[in-house]
Structure 1
Amino acid sequence: MSRPTGRHFLQIPGPSNVPDEVLRAMSAPTIDHRGPDFAELGRTVLDGVGPVFGTTNPVVIYPSSGTGAWEAALVNTLSPGDRVLSFETGHFALLWQKMAGELGLQVDLVPGDWRHGVDPDVVEERLTADTGHEVKAVCVVHNETSTGVTSRVAEVRAAIDRAGHPALLLVDTISSLGSIDYRHDEWGVDVTVSGSQKGLMLPPGLGFNAVSDKALEASRSAGLKRSYWDWEPILEANQRGFWPYTPATNLLYGLREALRILDEEGLANVFARHQRHAEATRAAVRGWGLEILCADEREHSGVLTAILLPDGHDADQVRRVILERYDMSLGAGLGKVAGTVFRIGHLGHFNDLTLAGTLAGVQMGLRLAGVPIDDRGIEAALARLEQP
């Protein structure tokens, strides 16, 4: 095959496309991370990232993946043998609960079908039954990247409150932050975990913990071993705009620019844009006569859509056809939906024409791969995009 022309379509649900302005910002010369110019950069990003989380409390920024931020949330708040309540909403929820077990925590895993989010009624039932308050934390993935299901975190918080339970609420927003409405303070979240490579429109490499006062208090007596992930020395150095180790300076340049872009558009507009693109994508899927993996209308994701293929059709083969013919990457099915699902990412630095091109490529690829579809899928999507 000859070398493809034009830009590659990266339509996986993260890492997402990085704006040119962010790439240019990251290309600036690296500066002394102990000097006054860096202190100004540090204070700017630390002050600017809070509103994206919906918090006035500290946000800890690590040079790490989202997986590192998962570990930081657990080791700073819990002790060996503590029980945590976790939910099988998809591949990444299972990976987080697996990490918790490897760290010496006891995990109560609520089974799931990968088509629904966390059930607030089950949260209330489990915690009401825990009269001895043995459960120390509830772990929720806000937007499950493997399934396109968004759990209703505000309702989970209300369920915890109805049960009168003191458990911490730990929430993974790795694929939702900066794309889907999220309110750390208002929803009473204790630790919000995130990463740089999705709604924040950066390359991978930064992990985040937004931390409540309750979580900070828990960290003072938490007994899990921690060193690199320890909040205390980082927060102390952050007061002066610094970190206690060498930070990812050029990624912080990019973060400063990404925060400027989000602020310029306005977070409410960012969220509305993502929902509109998600609605257009779902219109296409239904128009093709295919099935969306997420089974609850209230839980459809604004950042990706996972699509089930009919029996006898291989989702990975569809992805291969689309990559080879149209130079577009789509998300693979993960875990127990591997081969039966493919995922379209519609998040971050994204607009109507990019989505129209993406869906046109998917429609052509489905036909080339022999999947029986109705060609009116793209028409349904375009009709939605013609509306505000």
Structure 2
Amino acid sequence: MNTSGEETTAGGGYRLWWWTRRRSAALDIGLALVSAAECVMQGLNFAQRTGLPPVLVALFGIVAGSTVVIRRKRPLTVILIAIAILPTTMGDVLTVVGLYTLATTDAPRRLVGALAAAEAAGSFAVTLLLLKQDPGLDAQPMPAWFRPLVAGIFAVVLVVPPVLLGMYVRARRRLVESLRDRAGGLERELVLLAERAEERAEWARGEERRRIAREMHDVVAHRVSLMVVHAAAVAAVAPRDPEQAARNATLIGDMGRQALTELRTMLGVLRAADKPLAAAPPRPAPTGPPANPGPQAVPPPEGPALDGLAALIDQSRAAGMSVDLSVEGEPRGYAEPVESTAYRVVQEALTNVHKHAAGAAARVRLAHRDGEVAVLVQNDAPAGAQVPGARLPSGGNGLLGMRERVMALGGGFVSGPTDGGGFRVSAVIPDRREPSGA
């Protein structure tokens, strides 16, 4: 801060005492000079009428008129000084500027009205007294109401316009401040929406990664598990039954080709979308990630359906597993995610039987109910030792993937060992068929 009272803020802004802009300081100083000059001229007339020393009255007028310079800091002081010097007929500029400034502040309206009324009453009285003392008016015949009318008009013109203008400016400032606050609130909301959009995009990317991982696990684990079982069987029966070994080798080739076909399908979809997932909010679909809304979005390939369940079970039977299939209720079509999930549950459960209970008999139950479909896969305890080389590694993700699929559709999933030493996997999936045109 300089010794003159001028400051420079950290942002390079201007500050001199209570002024924050040079233009405001220049305006107030100019008004103070005008007010002081007006007070001096009116004061000299007052000194001529009363016989007071002109120099003393002029100095008083300069001091009183210069108080306009503090109108932004102390508007109430300016008004009180203007009311106090009313008998000297000085301070018209002081009155107008002070009332306007006070009306633009947050001062109570009652206070502004009371001071304006006091100023108007004092101005009316002083003007009426001057009119009565004017010898020129006394020499002219005029009605008795003329002088009060002129004094009243002068008082109203002096007080009402600055008060009304100040109240208008005050209301306008409040409106601008409210609009600025609303704009700030909208800006903050936009920032929050952008953050939430980024979170939704990250969630969508995670869901897509999990979906791809589940699909890859289902395709690879089941097909490769059957291939390993058949390969072990080939090694076991080749010396004594070449024809059976040839059949098993043929099955291995068929399963390998099927696995490659499914893998190529999924990899083709992934290669078709060279760009990363768009930051789009997830659709309220029951399963799967939100689709990329852009023109390059490629929907995921349609999953398997329940009508392929018999072929899936035949593959397990061909691998030497005893599988019994029972269907309850009237078969009907379900939404694609529902059929795909039910199929994958049965597929993964049979894969687990191949891995952990080779040689055990299994039962698959499919129940069509009102508004839902239920699947149950249960196997007995494994009987005897496994075929050498048929033991399969396990990553521990099969049950987790099944649970995620079923829970994503709002269904229920239960798995665990049975009393007889076997294992049971049960899932109830609600039908999420979308209405036509949805």
TM-score tier, shorter chain, comes to under 0.3
Question: TM-score when scaled to structure 1?
Answer: 0.22
- Decide which structure has greater strand share: 1
Q: Choose 1 or 2 for highest CA Rg.
A: 2
Report which structure shows greater RCO (CA 8 Å, sep ≥6): 1
Report which of the two has the higher share of helix: 2
